Structure 1
Amino acid sequence: MSLAPRVVLVHRTTEYEELVAHHGTHGQAAFFLASRDRDIDEVAERHRRARRALADVASAIPLTWRQSQVERGDLDRFLFAPEDVVVVVGQDGLVANVAKYLDGQPVIGIDTDPGRNPGVLVRHRAAQAASLLAAALTCDAEELTMVEAVADDTQRLIALNEIYLGAVGHQTARYRLGLEGDGGVVEAQASSGVLVGTGTGATGWLRSVWQERGAALPLPHPTDTRLLWFVREAWPSPATGTSLVAGELSAATSLHLTVESERLVAFGDGMETDALELTWGQSVRVGVAARALRLVG
Structure 2
Amino acid sequence: MNIEKIIVITRQTRLEESIKRFNTISQAKYFVESRGQSFDDYVTEYDNYQRARDALVRSIPSEMRFQVIDRTMLPNFLFGPGDLAMPLGQDGLVVNTAKYLEGQPVLAFNPDPERFDGVLLPFIWHSAVAVIRQTLEGKLGSRSISMARADLNDGQHLYAFNDFFIGADSHVSARYTLRFGDSSERHSSSGVIVSTPAGSTGWLSSLYNMAAGIQDFASGSPSVRTRKLPINKSPGTKKSSGENKKGMDTSGNGSGTSNHGVSPGAMQWEARKLIFMVREPFRSNWSGADIVAGEIGESQELILESHMPEGGVVFSDGMLEDFMQFNSGTTVQIRLAEKSTRLLVP
TM over 0.5: yes
> Which of residues 187, 198, 210 in structure 2 aligns to 1:212?
210
Offset at 1:135?
Answer: 3.2
Offset at 1:222?
Answer: 1.6
Q: Distance in 1 between matches of 2:54 and 2:158?
A: 33
Identity %: 33
Amino acid at match of 1:230: M
Aligned-pair RMSD on alpha carbons?
1.8
Q: Distance in 2 between matches of 1:90 and 1:218?
A: 27
Structure 2 equivalent of residue 159 of structure 1:
160
Amino acid at match of 1:284: V
Q: Distance in 1 between matches of 2:134 and 2:3?
A: 15
Q: Distance in 2 between matches of 1:250 and 1:266?
A: 21
Aligned-partner SS, 1:87 = strand
Change (3 A) 1:99 1:4: closer
Change (3 A) 1:279 1:194: same
Structure 2 equivalent of residue 289 of structure 1:
337
Give the strand-richer structure, 1 or 2.
1
Offset at 1:120?
Answer: 0.6
Query: TM (normalized to structure 1)?
Result: 0.93
- Structure 2: stretches of 5+ with no match in the other structure: 216-263
Q: Distance in 1 between matches of 2:3 and 2:334?
A: 37
Matches within 5 A, 1:55-94: 55-94=54-93
Offset at 1:170?
Answer: 4.3
Q: Distance in 2 between matches of 1:81 and 1:170?
A: 41
Structure 1 equivalent of residue 146 of structure 2:
145
Structure 2 equivalent of residue 134 of structure 1:
133
Structure 1 equivalent of residue 195 of structure 2:
197
Offset at 1:194?
Answer: 0.6
Q: Distance in 2 between matches of 1:150 and 1:156?
A: 4
User: Which moved further from structure 2: 125-134 or 194-203?
Assistant: 125-134
Q: Distance in 2 between matches of 1:140 and 1:27?
A: 46
- Structure 1: stretches of 5+ with no match in the other structure: none
> Which of residues 268, 274, 291 in structure 1 aligns to 2:316?
268
Structure 2 equivalent of residue 186 of structure 1:
184
Structure 2 equivalent of residue 278 of structure 1:
326
Number of residue pairs aligned between Structure 1 and Structure 2:
292
Q: Distance in 1 between matches of 2:315 and 2:177?
A: 18
- Could you tell me whether the CA contact under 8 Å between 1:4 and 1:66 is conserved in 2? no
Is structure 2 residue 234 aligned with structure 1 residue 236? no
Structure 2 equivalent of residue 43 of structure 1:
42
Offset at 1:62?
Answer: 1.2
Structure 2 equivalent of residue 173 of structure 1:
174
Matches within 5 A, 1:243-258: 243-258=290-305
Structure 2 equivalent of residue 118 of structure 1:
117
Alpha-carbon displacement from aligned partner over 1:256-280 (angstroms, at most 9, x marks no partner): 1111222421111111111112331
Is structure 2 residue 69 aligned with structure 1 residue 22? no
Query: TM (normalized to structure 2)?
Result: 0.80
Change (3 A) 1:147 1:170: farther
Offset at 1:4?
Answer: 6.1
Alpha-carbon displacement from aligned partner over 1:36-82 (angstroms, at most 9, x marks no partner): 22221111011111111111111111111111111111211111111
Q: Distance in 2 between matches of 1:104 and 1:130?
A: 24
Q: Distance in 2 between matches of 1:35 and 1:115?
A: 26
Amino acid at match of 1:262: P
Q: Distance in 2 between matches of 1:154 and 1:218?
A: 32
